[in-house]
Structures are given as structure tokens and as C-alpha cells.
Structure 1
Amino acid sequence: MINWLPILVMLFIGIGFALASLGVSYLLSPKNPTPEKLSPYESGIFPEEEPSQRFPVKFYMVAMLYIVFDIEIIFLLAWATRFEQLGWYGIIVIFIFTFFVLETLYYVWKRNVLDWNVPRRQRYHEPVKDYEGSG
């Protein structure tokens, strides 16, 4: 237990600092809400009308792919710091892990998820039908 004492002290200090910062900012901030301050905006431009459509799923797919490859980099960096201690076992495991991540990239590439100009039905390799129904 004595070994964990410095970690627990730092944890409580961090939580206390975060809570104190939130409390002080709440107490010292001006309380003058106006419609302009309460409206959401993007890049400093106030919206003139409500959005007419939802965001396409493409944005979410790119975000999920970013998370997958970001986690891969975290694992690769952790592996690189212990490369000599892991030996052949570490090399085999990281090659298997990299294979599965690259297989995911190949699958995404073949499904044209990263290509923004392909219509949706062609993205998922669905047959394209014309208006007479002969497609």
C-alpha cells in the first residue's frame, strides 16, 4: 500500500485542481447570457438558418478509421519501447497485429469508403438498375 501512496496523492491533487478550476471559473465568469452567446456557431460564423440535412455517414466512417489507426500507432510506440525485451515473441505478435490492421485498410479501400466521389450504391458494390428495371 505504501508504494501506491504517491500515486493516490497525485490523483487526489489532480482531481482537486480540476474541481477547483471549474469552481473558480464558474464563480468568476460573468453571468450575462444573450441570444448571441447562447447560439451555436462554427468557425466564428453565426448560422443564418437551420441545417437542412444531416451530416453524411462518410464523416463518421473517416473518424472511426482515424481512431483505429491512432490506436495502432499507440500500440506500435509501446512495442517499440520494449522491442529488445520482447524478442521474437514481440516481433511475431506485432506482425500479426499489423497484418490485421492492414487487412482492415485493404477492406476499407476495396469498399471505396475513402473515395468521396463514388455514389453510395457503387461504394458497396450493389448492382446499378436503370429506370426500365433491366439492370
Structure 2
Amino acid sequence: MPSGHTSASLVETLTALREQVTGVSESALSTVDGLLLAADADAFHPESVAALSATTLSIGRRMALEAGGGALRDVVIRSAGRHIVVRSVGERALLTVVGDEGLDLAGLRREVHHAVERLAAILADDAPA
């Protein structure tokens, strides 16, 4: 589990993503096993989203493999009034971003790369030696 300083840095990065991309309402960072690391969320239950995101990413990876699509970048789910994007953060974590119908997907694709790099760096700095 991240230290207090690390947790604050993770939440700051998630909050910055929400502030930079139109339509992003919430986000969560979790392990690939579905354990919550940090969240910038009010409406959804972060622990549940973390667990479901791990399953979503696993299914997406399997689908990409079966379809011959190469390494998975992200999984995008569109529902009535919501977009959910699940993206790998290195090999051990994943980022889930929830947006409304007005989510700027192009802006998210631009900005999520920087957020993923920052999150990965924070997690690497907190890793035991």
C-alpha cells in the first residue's frame, strides 16, 4: 500500500487529469489484482470499480490476444451517459477514468499518457528496495 505522501501524490495526479480533460468526472488507480491504491471519486464506490477494472483489463487483454491486435492499450466502455476507460499503468497497476457523455476522448488520449507516466513514476519511487 502506498505511503501517505505517495497516496497524496497519486490523488493529485488523478485530480489534475480531471481538471485537464473536459468531461472527466472521476478516476481510480488500482493494482492489476483489483486493490484500490487511490481515487478521485465522489459518485462511484472506488473499491468496487477497482475490482471490476481488473477484470475488465484482463478480458480486454485476452480479447486483444485472440483478435491478433497486439499489446492492449486500453478498454473503452460506452454506456448511456457515461464513458469508462481502463488503461494499464505499467505491469502492476491500472487507471480507470469515468467521464460523462461530453467526455473529450481525444483530449483524454492526449493527457492520459502523461498521467500514466506520472503515476508509474510515483509508484516506482514508493516500491520497496
TM-score of the superposition, structure 1-length normalised?
0.29
Higher helix share: 1
Does 1 or 2 have the higher relative contact order (CA < 8 Å, sep 6+)? Answer: 2
| TM value normalised by structure 2 | 0.30
Quick check: which one's strand share is greater? 2
